A and B are shown apart, each in its own frame.
Chain A
Amino acid sequence: MARPRSLLQTLRLWVFPPTIPETEPARRRSRTLRFTAVATLVIAALTLGALVAAEPFSAWRRLGSLIVVAVLCGVAFAAGRKERYELGGWILTGGLILLVTIRAWPLGGLFSSVGPFYVVLVLMGGVILGRRGSIGITLATAAAALALYAGHRAGSIATPALGVTPMGMLLSLLMAILLSFSLQVAIGNTFRFTLRRAEAELAERKAAQHDLGERVKELGLLHHVAQATQRESSSDEAMLRDIVRMMPEAWQHPDVTVARISFGATIAASPGWRETPWMQSTQFVSGDRAGSIDVAYTEERPAADEGPFLNEERALLDSVAEMVVAHLDSMRSRHELENLVAKRTAELREASATLSVSLARLQELEGLRDDLVKMIVHDMRGLLLVVMANLEFARTEVEGQPKSDIDDALGAANEVNKMANTLLDVSRLEEGKMPMTVASCDLAEVLRSAAATLGALDSSRVIEVVCTDPVTAECDRELIRRVIDNLVGNAIKHTPSGGRVRLDALRRNGQVRVTIADEGAGVPEDARTRIFEKFGSVRKRGENSMHSAGLGLAFCRLAVEAHKGRIGVEPGVPRGSVFYFEIPSGSAEATA
């Protein structure tokens, strides 16, 4: 229990408040004191020196004053060095008041030049000692003025006859002292106000800078999170661990901050993570899993917007959560897509494998079919040898009808032979295994040869070859000859007796076009493609149509296509049909 302070103690504490050493105000005041002491001494020395020069008779007096001033300034300076600025201030100002008063005593007291000195000393007191000190100095100067007045009243000091009483001078002096005091207070206030404002501004700036630093840390965290989420190679767990590692730095008090991110079964936490009463959390959902991000202070910290956390930190936490969710969603979509693609790829592979198997089977069957065709044709040929040779022998031994019958039989056997050959050729062309010898060939000449051969067999129809100049193309002469034979043979069959079959060949746009025109009944429009298919012939009754071999035109088509050409039939003008085929002429020859 402290003793109640005595009046003297109170006075003492009030005049000499305890200085907190090494604080800014103490240092400032001490600096001011030292400066004032030095300045006072210098000015006093200069002035007193000038006065001695002006009034040499007062030299000793002035010197005495200077010594006193020097002592006072020295002591004040030393006190300032030790930061005892009140003591120093009082010694300096008090000592100077005393010196001025004593010097004024024999020089007219109140009527001497004490006024300016008192005013200056009040100001000096305010500057060095502050507001409280300046009250004391004001009172001291007032007391000194009163002392001089008392001297006048006592007759110690001579009163000049100037028409002003000592009381009048005293009052004027007191007024000056008071004005000085109030002016000093006003200056002090202005100074304090400016100082406080500057300090406030500085504090504001420091706070702003601190805030800026905090925002930079937050941005740093967001940037880091963005980078972590863009790293595609790392797993979800690795990414969360990375983020959790960087999070504490972005909070106000990183040294006590710990963080944790949990997502489904995955948990990533700072070392030393534990739940505390000072926590900040946010929840999120990605796909069918939930997660949360938690930040905790392991020690209590000053309260802010949300517990010890700032609004900005809440915003930061939510931003981090948003970025994490966006990344997790995107990865999930990507995985789903990848899975889908893998599934489809597997399905496609399976389908492809099935197709490969089917293809292999198909090729196998085709091979078997080709072998079958070959075998059938081989056997047929063997049997035909027996049939035809024996018929030939029999033919030589008979005459008349039997001979004619045998001729018919031989004719039919020949047809069978041709059918067998055509069947084999069609099979080989379809397989792509028809051997072809390609050479330059004059188609006009082939037409003339076919016309001659086939025309010789049937004189009732005229076979006319229109083209006269050579028409050359690169082709297998044998195959093309057989195509022409087939088409000319068909034309003859379909042309009535006495009718005309016209053959022509011409070059056109790098192709050679061969046409065989007959005067038959024509081919109906819907059959014009079908007839070139295997067994797709047009069957007609009547004298001028025979059953055409189902394979002949198919063979022609395949043989022409093997030359990369095309075949077709158009209506003849005015009647009949024009069968044509076109094949590339092959070589870049000049006009034939």
Chain B
Amino acid sequence: MTNSGESDPKPNTVLVVDDDAKTRAVIAKMIRAVGYEPLEAANGSEAIHHYAARSNDIAAATLDLMMPETNGRATLAMLSEIAPFLPIVISSGLDPNAERLQGRIPGTPGVTYLQKPYKQEQLKAALDKVMGQLRRSR
């Protein structure tokens, strides 16, 4: 939420959606290291809630597909609906071919797949890629 008079600042927050606290922490650390502000969500509902509250601020999201409450696929589907132009990096321990995803799927503009474990550089490259795709298409 911004209410300053300056021109809309570029959204700088990356929504980190993962059910494991330690994983969230380390991803958040990596995001901070590459210059973004992490916003953690422990499950799909939290993620939707955060997005609804701060949609203008959120530049991208990382999403773990295997989560207990509101599974990742459903979260992806919901996010695809309420945030059709949100760049998403899907991270998972599963192989991409094993997924059966609905909504925006890796390969469509703004969505990419990043297999765990990944390095910081790989995360940055992925975020740059999806954000670049959607910026161009706007």
Which residues of A pack against B, CB within 8 Å?
Answer: 374, 377-382, 384-390, 392-393, 413, 417, 424, 435
Contacts and interface: CB of A to CB of B under 8 A. Distances in A.
Contact of A392 (B23, B93, B120): B120
B94 A378 contact: yes
Given A388-B117, A389-B117, A393-B29, A382 B95 contact: no
B97 interface: yes
Given A378-B93, A378-B94, A417 B117 contact: yes
A382 B23 contact: yes
A389 B98 contact: no
B117 A378 contact: no
Contact of A389 (B66, B92, B120): B120
19 contacts: A374-B94, A377-B93, A378-B66, A378-B93, A380-B93, A382-B64, A384-B117, A385-B27, A385-B117, A386-B20, A388-B119, A389-B29, A389-B30, A389-B119, A389-B120, A393-B33, A413-B117, A417-B117, A435-B97
B117 A381 contact: yes
Given A389-B120, A393-B33, 9 more contacts: A377-B93, A381-B116, A382-B64, A385-B27, A385-B117, A386-B20, A386-B26, A388-B117, A392-B120
Provide the main secondary structure of the chain B interface: mixed
A389 B93 contact: no
B115 interface: yes
Contact of A382 (B29, B33, B116, B119): B116
Given A378-B66, A381-B117, A382-B20, A389 B26 contact: yes
Interface in B61-102: 64, 66, 92-95, 97-98
Given A378-B66, A385-B117, A417-B117, A390 B93 contact: no
Contact of B93 (A382, A388, A393, A435): A382
Contacts of B26: 385-386, 389-390, 393
Contacts of A377: 93
Contact of A379 (B93, B97, B98): B93
Interface string B27-68: 101100100000000000000000000000000000010100
Contacts of B66: 378
Contacts of B116: 381-382, 384-385
Chain B interface bracket (under 10, 10 to 19, 20 to 34, 35 or more) = 20 to 34
A392 B116 CA distance: 15
A402 B29 CA distance: 21
A424 B95 contact: yes
Provide the main secondary structure of the chain A interface: helix
Nearest to A381: B93
A385 B120 contact: no
The CB with the most chain B CB atoms within 10 A, among A386, A390, A417, is that of A386
B22 interface: yes
A170 B95 CA distance: 158
B69 to A, nearest CB: 17
A378 B92 contact: yes
A381 B98 CA distance: 15
Contacts of B97: 435
Contacts of A390: 26
A389 B124 CA distance: 13
Closest CB pairs A-B (n = 6): A378-B93, A381-B93, A385-B117, A384-B117, A381-B116, A389-B26
Contacts of B33: 393
A378 to B, nearest CB: 3
Contacts of A387: 117
Contacts of B64: 382
B126 to A, nearest CB: 14
A148 B97 CA distance: 157
Contacts of A384: 116-117
Contacts of A389: 26-27, 29-30, 117, 119-120
A218 B120 CA distance: 109
B118 to A, nearest CB: 7
Contacts of A392: 119-120
Contacts of A417: 117
Contacts of B93: 377-382
Given A378-B66, A390-B26, A385 B118 contact: yes
The CB with the most chain A CB atoms within 10 A, among B66, B93, B97, B120, is that of B93
Contacts of A385: 23, 26-27, 116-118
B65 to A, nearest CB: 9
Contacts of A388: 117, 119
Contacts of B117: 381-382, 384-385, 387-389, 413, 417
Contacts of B120: 389, 392
Nearest to A420: B93
A276 B79 CA distance: 107
